[in-house]
Amino acid sequence: MANKSIAMNKLRSIIRLHNEGKNKSFISRYLGFSRNTVHKYVQQFQRIDLTYDNIKDISDLELYQCFELDFQREVPDRLKSSKPFFHTCKKSLDGQA
């Protein structure tokens, strides 16, 4: 389930445990997430300009919006340059070549 967002209460738990000094391996085992998922959300938390106390006081929607911006990624140039190739393949498969 790549790039699937998590429930905000789980996100708050990741941030709380990180704030308490727990390492990512402990957090991943405790909450049942992969270390990469925990790492991703901890990094995003460190990039936004909020403290754990701020996060406790905002709504789930506001918290989601704080983290939603980082879900959008720039398409790599390598992938952009392959678009004409796939367009040609589609035309060929459709019998329009």
Could you write out the DSSP letters of every residue in 60-89?
A: HHHHHHHHHGGG--PPPHHHHHTHHHHHHH
d(CA 33, CA 10): 10
pLDDT in tens, 8-40: 899 999 999 999 999 999 999 999 999 999 999
Under a CB-based contact definition with an 8 Å cutoff, are residues 24 and 38 in contact? yes
Contacts of 75 (CB under 8 A, 6+ apart): none
pLDDT in tens, 58-92: 888 888 888 774 445 567 788 788 888 888 888 88
| Residue boundaries of the structural domains of the chain | 8-93
Q: What is the pTM of this model?
A: 0.64
Report phi then psi at 71, rounded to 5. -75, -25
